[in-house]
Structure formats: structure tokens, C-alpha cells
A and B are shown apart, each in its own frame.
Chain A
Amino acid sequence: MEFVGSILIQIGIFTILATSFNLIIGYGGLMSIAHPIFFALGAYGSGLLTQATGVPVFAGIAFGMALATVASVALALPSLRVSGDYLVIASIGFQLGLLQIIKNSEWSGGPGGLSNIPPLLHAVGPAAIWSYVAIVGFAAIASILIVRWLVSGDYGRAITAMRDDEEAFKGLGHDAVRLKLVLFGIGSGLAGLAGGLYGHYFLFVTPEQFEILYSAAMLTMVVVGGIRTVWGPALGAVLLQFLPQAINFLKLPSSVTGPLQGILFTGLVLLFLFLRPHGLLGRAPGARAVVQEDDPTEASVK
């Protein structure tokens, strides 16, 4: 049962990550590859603060979220003022540069990682695991509902208009950069929340867990589940938790399992990109006559 609980916790954490990434790249149309580093900022920020000051873990997680949000705005503001294309370039530099700092610094535990992170729940045994499942599940559902609320109604219409025709959107007197910053900040803050929950569950984080290549796994969840759908990334997170487990059953050496999982993730994205770009839950553009119930943005436009 402990194993099932652990899988559910990971599904919840990856649902938050995928949902927040979908908000940024799907609804916002903002390409960033730095999502793993905002995940890391949440984990390290919360872990270090709770370790050093003894503040309650919930406060630490809130700090991790705030840190990820502030860092994301600092990253996005200069690049978005120029062009959206620059965001992806800046995000690569930000991801690699910040990870370089984490790897080479003593305060972060260096390449060996940060250990002895205080747990969120001090109890042990099945009750503690299921309590953690409930907390993570609540956070995941809350993330999905926040995104659903954001992309619905007037705000959702503004997001669609900004993404579909930015010049016209600006011509109507709206501030596209501010809207993008809000989406990027909220998406990154949610990644920070996922990082905090991850760190306080596993109690140990290493820089390797936040490498740039993990952005492929996050993209897989979004693209396979359905980009610009509210529930698609959650479905992607569930699938991507079970696929690696299937590979694990093959009992291959770890030097093979890691790359094989990566090939599976990235291969799936490429397949879906060309064969079913709207993902499992999204609908093809030809099917637009029917209101897309899963995409509040589209529904509200109609």
C-alpha cells in the first residue's frame, strides 16, 4: 500500500507541474524550458528555509512558491519586452545557469544534493502516507481549478485574444506583456509548490533531479494529455507515472532504464506533435463546431 501511496503522491506532484506548464505554454503560448528550475527553486527554497530557521513547513512551501514566482518574473520581464522568442532562449540560459550555481555552491549541498529536509508530516506509517496523498491531491485539484478559473470568462477571452493575435490585442489598449507575466508567474509559482511538496516528501533533493532534460517529461504530459485542455495534463501525468513503471518491470540495468524512459517520453511528444497535435483530450481544429467542454477558453469564445 505504501508503494501505491507513493505513486499517487508522485502523480499529484506531476499533475501540478504539468497543469502549470500547460498554463504557460498552452494557454499563454509562452515557450519556456525552465520549468524544472522553478520546481527546483520550490524544493530548495522551502528545504533550506525550514532547515535553517525551523519555520513551519507550510510557510517554507509558501516561500518556495514565492521564490519561484519572483524568479520567473525576473526571467520573463526583460525577454518579453523584446519578443516572445527571446523567452525560450533566456529560459535555457536561466535553467542551465541557475543549476550550475546550485551544483557548485556549498549552501545547496553541491552536486551531492540537499539532505535532511524536514518532513511535512512527522508521523510515520500508512496513515502518514495517506495523509500526504490527501494533501498532494488537494493541491493538485486546487491547481487544476485555479487554471480552469483563470482561463474561463473574461480573463480567458483576453488570454485567447492575446495568444491568437497579439497585435490586435495590444491595439485594443491591453497590456500583453503584463498578461504574459501574470500567467508565467502563476505557472512558475505552482511549479514551486510542486517542488516544495516533493522536497518535504522525499526529504532529499539533488541538482540532477532538475536537469533541463526533465522539461521533456513535462512537455510529454502536456502534449500527450492535450495542450490547452484543463484535464489533459493530469491525464498525461497519470500515464507518465505508469509508463516508467512498465519499463521498471523489465528489470533492465539503470544505465538503460533512464535513457529508455527519455526516449519513450520524447518519442511520444514527437509522435503526438505530428500525428495527434491536440493530444488525447483535445479536439482537432476541424471538430470546433462542437463546443469544447474541456477547454473553457474555447467554450467562452463561442
Chain B
Amino acid sequence: MFDRGILLQVLWTSLATASFQVLLTIAFALILKVTKIWNFTQPALMGVAFYAMYVALNWWGAPLPVAILVGFLATAALGLVIECVGFSTLRARGSESITFFIFTLIFAQFVIYVLTLAFTTEPVFMLANMMSPTMLVGDVVVSTWDLHSILIAASLTIALLLFLRFTRTGQYMIAVADNADLAEVYGISKAQSYALAMLIAAIFITAAMYVFGSKLAVYPELTLHMMIFAVVSTILGGIDRVFAAAAAALGINLLQQLSVLVMDSRWQPLIVFSILFIAIVFFPRGIRLPARRVADGRAGTPVLDKAAE
């Protein structure tokens, strides 16, 4: 049952299936880092991204790249409406955090109901042909979908890392995330950074829904269930640490995939909920590695540690 071939296959499959979860986690964690808002409107954005691509492909007969572009434009437009109309109004009023929670959760449910009215609760596939060519690498079955999804997730994650570290706009976003009011004193527009964070999140969400939708069927309410994974990963990775959250998503997915070896698959979703409670009780600030020590045995300086994150 636990032979090397099966374990390798599970590892590979979990890496491939984690790709869309990594993308969704990064989108969620980035908005939280920059705007300090738990963006529970994400299921709405996920639903719009998927169904926009679905409509472009299946109703209009558009080619795949055009459909993906349509998906991104629709998601970005909705994201900007949420940020510029919803969040900014509530911020301007000095609303309590409970009002943000109510707005985000209810807005997500509103969009899910609209999508249900338009597309029913019936799960739909995005592509006409869901079969993906496979090849055997050693004992491991590798599909084209696996390679595509890993490539998309890896390239977008690296691109975001480079953007945040090496571009002026990315550094502005980090500055706003660290202290929005101080950043404004230095002439950085926090409103622009918030909007940009939403646009980047829209890219990641569209990519995630393309990866997910090119293999599995989607129905409107599913997006609400998918979001919980991103929330758990964000907590476990540590709030404010976008890439650690992505690593946590990989870890949780691996655990979930390995669980099929020991438990019935219908109970698999409970693993995420169990991890959620373990994270809240034992790792409310995320799992953090011990501070690196320099040659004389002292802990590294906080500034260096922060940069390393």
C-alpha cells in the first residue's frame, strides 16, 4: 500500500493539484497583506472568472487565449468595483471590521446567487474535451495538465516575487502594506496600491480558475468551499507572508492527498477544517521557522529576518 511508486505518484499529483490552490492562496494573502481586509469576496471573483471564460468558450466560440483574457477582464472589473466602490466607501466612513466582514461575505453570496440564476447549480466543464494526454516518467503518470498547471503556478509566483522585490511599484505596495499612512507621507498613493493588489489578485484568480476548470467541473457554490483552503493556508503561512502562505497551501494539499491512503475520500475535506482549528489554536500567527543565527550565536536582526521572509 505504501510502496515507492504510489508515494511518488501521490507527491506528483499533489504538486499538480496544489497549483490552483497556491494561486488562490496568493490572491487571498496578497489582498490581506496590502489592504488588511479578509477578502471574502474572493468566491465571487472566482465564480466570475470561471463563468466568463466558460461563456466566451462555449457560447461565443472564442479561442482559449481570448476566453482567458475575457475571464481576466471580467474579474479585474469586478475586483475594481469591490475595491473602489465597496472597500473605499467603508474605509472613508471608518466602518468597523464587522461591517467589512458583512459586506465581503454577503457580496460573495450575492454574486453566487446571480451565477446560480444564470447557470443553475449544475456543475459545468469549461472545455469540451477534459482528457489530458499522459506519459510515464519512471513509475509516475504525468499528464499535460499537470505540467501546464505547475508551470502556470510557478511562473506567476516567481513573477510576483520579482515584481514585489525589484520594481518600484511593487516596493510601493510593500510600503503601503507595512504602513499605509506613512507611505502616503512619502507620496505613495495607497488607493493605487489597493487597486493594483486587486488587479494582481484578479490575474492569479483567473489563472487558478483556468487551471481548475480545465480539469474539473464547477458550480457557483463550489467557489465558497474552495476559498476556505486559501484562508487556512494564509493563517498557517502567517498573515502578511504571501509566499509562506503559498508554501502552506502546498503542504496542506500534500497532507490531503496522502490522506487517501488511510481514510475514505468523502472525509478528505475535513482535513482542511481540522487544520484550520489546529492553526487557530496552536499557530495563530502562522508556522515560523526558528530565527537564523549568525556566526557568533546571536539571532539575526529583525530587519534581515523580515527581508528574508
Would B102 and A31 count as touching, CB distance under 8 A? yes
Chain A residue at smallest Cβ distance from B98: A31
List residues of A whose CB falls within 8 A of some B CB: 25, 29-31, 33, 78-79, 82-86, 88-90, 92-94, 96-97, 100-101, 104, 211-213, 215-216, 219, 223, 255-256, 258-260, 262-263, 266-267, 269-270, 273-274, 277
B112: Cβ under 8 A from any A Cβ: yes
* Main SS class of interface, A: helix
Q: What is the bound-complex CA distance between A90 and B266, given in angstroms?
A: 21
Would B280 and A219 count as touching, CB distance under 8 A? no
Partner of B117, one of A90, A256, A273, A277: A256
Would B281 and A78 count as touching, CB distance under 8 A? yes
Q: Which residues does chain B contribute within 8 Å of A104, judged by CB atoms?
A: 266-267
Q: Which residues does chain B contribute within 8 Å of A90, judged by CB atoms?
A: 276-277, 280
Chain A residue at smallest Cβ distance from B89: A274
Partner of B105, one of A30, A33, A96, A211: A33
Q: Which residues does chain A contribute within 8 Å of B112, judged by CB atoms?
A: 213, 262
Would B224 and A212 count as touching, CB distance under 8 A? yes
Would A93 and B228 count as touching, CB distance under 8 A? yes
B219: Cβ under 8 A from any A Cβ: no
Q: What is the bound-complex CA distance between A260 and B221, given in angstroms?
A: 15
Partner of A259, one of B116, B266, B280: B116
Q: What is the bound-complex CA distance between A259 and B113, given in angstroms?
A: 5
Would A273 and B106 count as touching, CB distance under 8 A? yes
28 contacts between A and B (CB under 8 A): A25-B102, A31-B97, A31-B102, A83-B284, A84-B97, A86-B235, A89-B38, A89-B276, A90-B280, A93-B273, A93-B277, A96-B225, A100-B267, A211-B221, A213-B113, A213-B221, A216-B106, A216-B110, A223-B102, A255-B121, A259-B114, A262-B113, A263-B110, A266-B106, A266-B107, A266-B113, A273-B102, A273-B103
Q: Which residues does chain A contribute within 8 Å of B269, judged by CB atoms?
A: 96-97, 100
9 closest residue pairs by CB, A with B: A97-B273, A262-B113, A266-B110, A259-B117, A93-B276, A82-B284, A259-B116, A31-B101, A78-B281
Chain A residue at smallest Cβ distance from B225: A96
B3: Cβ under 8 A from any A Cβ: no
Apart from A88-B105, A100-B270, A263-B114: 18 A-B pairs, beta carbons within 8 A: A29-B96, A31-B98, A79-B280, A84-B97, A86-B280, A86-B284, A89-B38, A89-B231, A96-B273, A97-B269, A104-B267, A216-B106, A219-B105, A259-B116, A267-B110, A270-B106, A273-B99, A273-B103
Q: What is the bound-complex CA distance between A213 and B277, given in angstroms?
A: 22
Task: Output the least CB separation between A246 and chain B (Å).
Answer: 17
The number of residues on chain B lying at the interface, defined by a beta carbon within 8 Å of a beta carbon of chain A, is 40
Q: What is the bound-complex CA distance between A97 and B112, given in angstroms?
A: 20
Chain B residue at smallest Cβ distance from A30: B98
Chain B residue at smallest Cβ distance from A267: B110
Contact with A along B252-267 (1 / 0, CB 8 A): 0000000000000011
Chain A residue at smallest Cβ distance from B285: A82
Task: Output the least CB separation between A177 and chain B (Å).
Answer: 14
Q: Which residues does chain A contribute within 8 Å of B102, judged by CB atoms?
A: 25, 31, 219, 223, 269, 273
Q: Which residues does chain B contribute within 8 Å of A212, judged by CB atoms?
A: 224
Partner of A270, one of B110, B221, B266: B110
A-facing residues in B74-102 (Cβ within 8 Å)? 89, 96-99, 101-102
Q: Which residues does chain B contribute within 8 Å of A33, judged by CB atoms?
A: 105
Q: Which residues does chain B contribute within 8 Å of A223, judged by CB atoms?
A: 102
B171: Cβ under 8 A from any A Cβ: no
Q: What is the bound-complex CA distance between A213 and B221, given in angstroms?
A: 9
Most buried by A among B101, B109, B270: B109
Q: Which residues does chain A contribute within 8 Å of B106, judged by CB atoms?
A: 216, 219, 266, 269-270, 273
Q: What is the bound-complex CA distance between A31 and B113, given in angstroms?
A: 22
Q: What is the bound-complex CA distance between A82 and B284, given in angstroms?
A: 7
Most buried by A among B102, B107, B270: B102
B144: Cβ under 8 A from any A Cβ: no
Would A277 and B99 count as touching, CB distance under 8 A? yes
B245: Cβ under 8 A from any A Cβ: no
Task: Output the least CB separation between A110 and chain B (Å).
Answer: 10
B232: Cβ under 8 A from any A Cβ: yes
B120: Cβ under 8 A from any A Cβ: yes
Q: Which residues does chain A contribute within 8 Å of B272, judged by CB atoms?
A: 93
Q: Which residues does chain B contribute within 8 Å of A85, judged by CB atoms?
A: 38, 97
